[in-house]
Amino acid sequence: MEEVRKHNGSLFSEKIVGDSGVLGLTYLHTLECTKCKRQFSSEKPQTVCPTCNAPLYARYNLEKVSETLTKEDLVGRRADMWRYFELLPVRSKENIVSLGEGFTPILKLRSIAGELGMEELYLKDDGLNPTGTFKARGLAMAVSRAKELNLEKLAIPSAGNAAGALATYGANAGVEVYIVMPVDAPMTCKIESYMAGAHVFLVDGLISKCGEIIAEGTDRFGWFSVSTTKEPYRIEGKKTMGLEIAEYFNWTLPDVILYPTGGGTGLLGMWKAFSELQELDWIKGSLPRMVSVQSEGCAPIVKAYNEGRKESTFWEDAQTFADGIRVPKAFADSLILKTLYESDGGAVAVSDAKILSSSKTLAKAGVFACPEGAATLAGLTKLLDAGVIAKDASVLLYNTGTGLKYTNGYAEQVELDLPLIESARDISL
Ligand SMILES: *Cc1c(COP(=O)(O)O)cnc(C)c1O
Ligand SMILES: [Zn+2]
């Protein structure tokens, strides 16, 4: 065993010996079924629990982490999500595929807060990630682990943004990428994936249909699927969202976090981060109320929550221009619902019209958000009106991506028709 010394500020200055005896950076210990708690080796590729068909969660030796890592050690580390490497699953730094993802800004929305009669309203802007969305976090992690475990053909069903991220990180890692997405996914995501050299296939159907095709492809072509929560590491990347929020607020979390929920990895990732930090005894005060926001055109989690159910049912005819949350049934629905109940949170559906007007409000405040991110502001407004969220609560909206990836969708929604002019005389104000 190598002696574990204090980190001197630069991220990869020290190597530590993990619990398994493997030389690495991490305290990753094992994978655990979220349902039956059976343990699986983290030394080889894993998907879901074969008995329960439930997601596997990475488990760390947190006792060791708390012996060697302090909050202060984080100060001065590199400003991306890898600053938390002890709590992340990559064993060797050579396998980290990074484009600078994470450590995104948290903005205080003063003018919007004022209009809503609130004092503390924040927005974490994950539109500033590589590939323009928070999907970069999960796929940087999944691709890094895939590289570490010698996987060479990665595949994904995607509403668009996960495809762009997998294509980009996969290209960086030098692995083959296979993508199946709905034919009406944003053009930006299709072209982004194509440009990065991925094999892109379109389907006249929803993401659920894409998922079925990917599952066939894994049998037929030996692809490894990194589909949402069907492999254990994307959620570890998303976990950094929670770690960053905690560090930013000096380990006292906001009262409420609103999150646009599709497959739910972001919500589950944040909750996992908070649970691990609580176990490390780093969090002061209570955990936030976690609120899922969905579109009225596709709100399976909201429906299940309102009915007090533990699982959701398939949402027929899912429709919304917020592509990332057009998920008719999340694979991890029971975990999402459990988090909403456990955190005394909530679930709210908003109309596409409200998403659009919220997006304009955010754009005027300086953030051109994706429709999913804008949905959180619409959800907040609704829950303030209903008295579910108090005006004196500190609230964080999670903007999952940039509006720049949705220019076509937005243009359609506003029926963009700008005047064509030849000189200033054509302008009547
Ligand atoms: C995928 C996606 C979501 C939904 O994310 P989950 O964590 O799977 O619920 C939200 N917003 C955007 C922009 C997305 O791409
Ligand atoms: Zn199980």
d(CA 89, CA 143): 12
Residue pLDDT, tens place only, 76-88: 999 999 999 999 9
Q: Whose CA is nearest to atom 15 of ligand 1?
A: 324
pLDDT band at 1 (very low <50, low <70, confident <90, very high): very low
The answer to whether residue 110 scores a pLDDT higher than 70 is yes
Q: Would you state the pLDDT for residue 2? A: 37
* Cβ-contact 213, 221 below 8 angstroms: no
Average pLDDT, the chain: 93
> Two tokens at 360?
């304009």
Q: Would you state the pLDDT for residue 193? A: 98
The answer to whether residue 151 scores a pLDDT higher than 60 is yes
* Cβ-contact 101, 241 below 8 angstroms: no
* Cβ-contact 365, 111 below 8 angstroms: yes
The answer to whether residue 208 scores a pLDDT higher than 90 is no
Rg (CA), the chain: 21
Ligand nearest to the CA of 258: 1
Q: How many whole angstroms from 134 Cα to the centroid of ligand 1?
A: 8
The answer to whether residue 15 scores a pLDDT higher than 70 is no
Residue whose entry in the numeric block shows the structure tokens 């359609």: 412
CA of 405, closest atom in ligand 1: 13
> Bigger pLDDT: 8 or 95?
95
Q: How many whole angstroms from 35 Cα to the centroid of ligand 2?
A: 5
* Cβ-contact 27, 65 below 8 angstroms: yes
Q: How many whole angstroms from 130 Cα to the centroid of ligand 2?
A: 34
The pocket of ion ligand 2, defined by CB under 5 A, consists of 33, 35-36, 49, 51-52
Q: How many whole angstroms from 161 Cα to the centroid of ligand 1?
A: 8
The arithmetic mean of pLDDT across residues 180-186, rounded, is 94
The answer for residues whose C-beta is within 8 angstroms of residue 161's C-beta and 6 or more apart is: 131, 132, 133, 135, 189, 323, 324, 401, 405
Residue pLDDT, tens place only, 289-312: 999 999 999 999 999 999 999 999
Q: Which residues line ligand 1 (CB under 6 A)?
A: 133, 135, 161, 228, 260-266, 324-325, 370, 372, 400-401
The answer for residues whose C-beta is within 8 angstroms of residue 15's C-beta and 6 or more apart is: 2, 23, 24, 25
d(CA 310, CA 336): 9
Percent helix, percent strand, percent coil in the chain, to nearest 5:
40, 20, 40
Q: How many whole angstroms from 322 Cα to the centroid of ligand 1?
A: 9
